[in-house]
Amino acid sequence: MNQLLLHRAAKPLLFALALLPFAQLLWGAIANTLGANPAEALIRGSGDWVLRFVCLTLAITPLREATGWSALARMRRMTGLFAGFYATLHFLCYAWLDMGLDFGDIVRDIVKRPFILVGVLALLLMLPLVATSCNRAIKALGAARWKALHKSVYAVALLGLLHFFWMRAAKHHFTEWSVYAAIVVLLLGWRLRQALRRRGAT
């Protein structure tokens, strides 16, 4: 598996696969196959992929340690960047399709509706992570400060869950949210356990 992950085609393949949801949403909008409310389908569809890529990014380190597939680490940056890409797309769909790009209305809506405020906070936390994802940023910040900054991905995951929960609460539909919540809690619990083990070892 490590040999496959190190193959020069592995990253381009991951890139193509990660773009598939965007292509499907774009084609659905062009072909008018997104149902009775295409704007809502685009907003929710892009939002779903934010959580999926955040979960995938958080899962890479535990999966790497559990399987010994060390080459998985080279995929983490791309999955994180795609989480940021879909988060930006999610916000743009909301700002354009729901609010008509009216900045004043967008600000008032964010302040008025807590679930949107939480989602915007998650996006704002993601932007520095995206901006510092390159090797040059690691060198400029130093490894310790870079790692400390990128731990905010945990806050992003929790804010994303809260955003999704409040959105689903209006319709009392929590099944899908529960799956994401279980995954995030499991992954964060694993990290907490690892941190406690390291502290105990010192």
**Segment 22-81, tens digit of pLDDT:** 999 999 999 999 998 999 999 999 999 999 999 999 999 999 988 988 999 999 999 999
* Alpha carbon distances (Å) from 28 to 40, 89, 100, 113, 153: 12, 15, 20, 28, 30
Measured CA angle at 149 (ends 145, 153), to 5 deg: 150
The answer to whether the beta carbons of residues 149 and 129 sit under 8 Å apart is: yes
Cβ count near 134 (within 10 Å): 12
Residue 202: which pLDDT band, with cuts at 50, 70 and 90? low
The 10s digit of each residue's pLDDT in 96-141 is: 999 999 999 999 999 999 999 999 999 999 999 999 998 899 899 9
The 10s digit of each residue's pLDDT in 161-188 is: 999 998 877 667 788 889 999 999 999 9
Closest by CA to 44, choosing from 28, 59, 57, 68, is: 28
189: containing domain: 2-201
pLDDT at site 122? 96
pLDDT at site 173? 75
Q: How many domains does the chain have?
A: 1
